[in-house]
Amino acid sequence: MQKQPGKARGRGPLLRRLAAAATLAAVLLDAASASAAPRAAKSEAPQNPYPARRELYDRIGLATGLAWYDLAAIDQYERTMSRAHPRTRPLREGAVSGVYIPPERWAGPLNPDENDKQPLSIRVFQGIGQDGSGDGRADRTNDADLLYAVARRVMVQGSTRDDFAIGVWEYYHNTRAVQRIQQFSKLYRTFGKLDLVQHVFPLPQGTVYAYRSTWGNRRGWGGARIHEGTDIFAGYGVPVRSTSYGVVEIKGWNRYGGWRIGIRDLDNLYHYYAHLSGFEKSLKPGDVVRPGQLIGWVGSSGYGKPGTQGKFPPHLHYGVYRDRGLVEWAFDPYPLLRNWERAEQRSLRVHS
């Protein structure tokens, strides 16, 4: 009788020590993988999130008839909105789906129980909550229920491409959301996978260029009152490459930007490449690009009528804007550029 509590006492600290060691090991592993991975990937979940997401899209796709890439596009758009609005759209711990639906929309605006999980009463109160997991409950913290609820709303219109766009518009009442989701869908459909997060530096390694942080610098060459971007100085004709997977959104002349091209990526970031001497001719708005793909050449176009050039030294003006749903905010691309440059230099060293 006396020995057993003694044993238990002895075992307790050992277990605790083992648990502590396991935690320490996990922390060390995390630290090791964090330092090995490029800094730009830091915001990504530490584990590979894509297999679980793909499984969810396939499952909800079977239940609704929506294609996996359309579901992936909606889900990713939702995820980017949550990243842009972390306080009003809190991300769930361990979430697979990026969908966020406010309680009153889920349960119905007049539902006295905003945590209602009964599909029947939610329907009575005109909430959009659904049971997508098959457990009889419509739970707005359940990945399958959330994505299924959105899919059902979007599918109300029908199942053609036009119906999909109309359904998405009916759900968001925001044409930008429709455009984003169609762009994302095209990217997933074209490349056939979810993992499209690779990035590269805009100019090829091995070319001669120079840049420094010019964020908010009035002396920057960009045309904006406050300089929104980074100027990368290089000679005429140095290739300019897409830094990300993306869809060409704009291509043409802009008074200040000169020949410029705008590309949307799956993080809902708009990458702006300005003052080009020319474009890769085959590219047109709506086309998809991959990281490293040639999009044009360094020049000094801009600050005047179409074709104006030579009013400043040749350079690439590179800007990045985050879509926040209704407006876009510029942020300083300099840290991203440094990370992409270092990551590429590291991988070139490894492979040479």
Q: Which residues bind Zn ion (CB under 5 A)?
A: 220-222, 229, 231, 317
Backbone angles phi, psi at 320, to 5 degrees: -130, 130
Query: Given the complex with Zn ion, which of 61 and 222 has the nearer CB atom?
Result: 222
Instruction: Give Dmax (Cα) for the chain.
Output: 95
Query: Given the complex with Zn ion, which of 114 and 341 has the nearer CB atom?
Result: 341
On whether the CB atoms of residues 236 and 299 are closer than 8 A, the answer is yes
Residue with tokens 């990243």: 83
Give Cβ neighbours of residue 138 (< 8 Å, ≥ 6 apart).
106, 116, 117, 118, 119, 122, 127, 129, 130, 131, 145, 149
Query: Given the complex with Zn ion, which of 201 and 221 has the nearer CB atom?
Result: 221
Cβ 333 to Zn ion, closest distance in Å? 11
On whether the CB atoms of residues 311 and 301 are closer than 8 A, the answer is no
Query: Given the complex with Zn ion, which of 209 and 221 has the nearer CB atom?
Result: 221
Instruction: Please return the burial class of 4, using the count of CB atoms within 10 Å of its CB with bins 0-12, 13-18 and 19+.
Output: exposed
Cβ 276 to Zn ion, closest distance in Å? 12
Cβ 317 to Zn ion, closest distance in Å? 3
Query: Given the complex with Zn ion, which of 50 and 303 has the nearer CB atom?
Result: 303
Of the candidates 334, 302, 306, the one whose C-alpha atom is nearest the C-alpha of residue 315 is 302
Strands 315-323 and 328-331, bridge-based pairing: antiparallel
Query: Given the complex with Zn ion, which of 222 and 296 has the nearer CB atom?
Result: 222
On whether the CB atoms of residues 129 and 138 are closer than 8 A, the answer is yes
DSSP secondary structure string for all residues of 85-137:
-TTTSPPPTT-S------HHHHH-TT-S-TT---HHHHHHTT------SSSS-
Query: Given the complex with Zn ion, which of 185 and 214 has the nearer CB atom?
Result: 214
